[in-house]
Chains A and B, each alone.
Chain A
Amino acid sequence: LAKTTQPISMDSYEGQEVNITCSHNNIATNDYITWYQQFPSQGPRFIIQGYKTKVTNEVASLFIPADRKSSTLSLPRVSLSDTAVYYCLVGDMRDRDDKIIFGKGTRLHILP
């Protein structure tokens, strides 16, 4: 099970682009990279998932370099409502015994 490392916390300002990087040096061939967002007093919710290169949806972009040992979640033009904890997870989608480890995540604080 690949372990991930991400910053404990980050601050940014409204309207800016925010990039949160996650390290996963021992990622396996079949592993996918998934990001979740959690607001206070709510359960986490899925944001984006990718395997390689770049994935974009209406919420965020995910950049994965060729060696896949890290990934970057990019949030364009953040607002105060993007203040949340962001979790990076790595694991095999096909292996039901591959336990997901959420860890402590990155606490993102958006300032006005």
Chain B
Amino acid sequence: DVKVTQSSRYLVKRTGEKVFLECVQDMDHENMFWYRQDPGLGLRLIYFSYDVKMKEKGDIPEGYSVSREKKERFSLILESASTNQTSMYLCASSLAGGVDTQYFGPGTRLTVL
């Protein structure tokens, strides 16, 4: 079974703090994704990566950056957290690109005060 783990289930940070959300997958998948999910807005893609050190912007990259130094790990960084970044963050991985099956982690609920 594919396992995607995220570093925290719940996280509370203050405005202006730098926040790191970590995601690790154990199936040697090429592609990794970061989404955020907000009530009424569905899942929105922030960034994705199809190879180590590669990254592509999704639909809402503003205020975020990512890092992929190793194949199994994809980090989402909030350089200076703001209250409008309070959300559920979901990481996913897939073997191939496009609509190949994505496997999701349990999510991190981030609250920025």
Chain A positions near chain B (C-beta within 8 angstroms): 31-32, 34, 36, 41-46, 49, 87, 89-105
Please state if A93 and B96 are interface contacts (CB–CB under 8 Å).
yes
Q: Give CA–CA (A5, B59) in the complex, Å.
A: 18
Please state if B41 and A90 are interface contacts (CB–CB under 8 Å).
no
With contacts A41-B107, A43-B92, A44-B104 known, is A95 near B42, CB below 8 A? no
Chain B positions near chain A (C-beta within 8 angstroms): 4, 30-31, 33, 35, 40-45, 48, 50, 56, 58-59, 90, 92, 96-107
Inter-chain contacts of A104 with B (CB < 8 A) = 40-42
Please state if B31 and A43 are interface contacts (CB–CB under 8 Å).
no
With contacts A43-B107, A44-B104, A99-B48 known, is A91 near B99, CB below 8 A? yes
Inter-chain contacts of A95 with B (CB < 8 A) = 97-98
Please give me the residue from chain B that is nearest to A43 by CB atom: B104
Q: How far is the CB of A22 from chain B (nearest CB, A)?
A: 13
Inter-chain contacts of B59 with A (CB < 8 A) = 99, 101
- Looking at B30, B43, B106, B107, which has the most chain A CB atoms within 10 Å of its CB? B43
Interface SS, A side: loop
Inter-chain contacts of B44 with A (CB < 8 A) = 102
Please give me the residue from chain B that is nearest to A30 by CB atom: B98
Please state if A43 and B105 are interface contacts (CB–CB under 8 Å).
yes
Inter-chain contacts of A93 with B (CB < 8 A) = 96-100
Inter-chain contacts of B90 with A (CB < 8 A) = 43-44
Please state if A42 and B107 are interface contacts (CB–CB under 8 Å).
yes
Identify B50's interface contact among A46, A96, A103, CB under 8 A.
A96
What are 15 A-B pairs at a CB distance below 8 A? A31-B99, A32-B99, A34-B99, A34-B101, A42-B106, A43-B92, A43-B106, A43-B107, A44-B43, A44-B104, A92-B99, A96-B97, A99-B48, A103-B43, A104-B41
Q: Give CA–CA (A36, B101) in the complex, Å.
A: 9
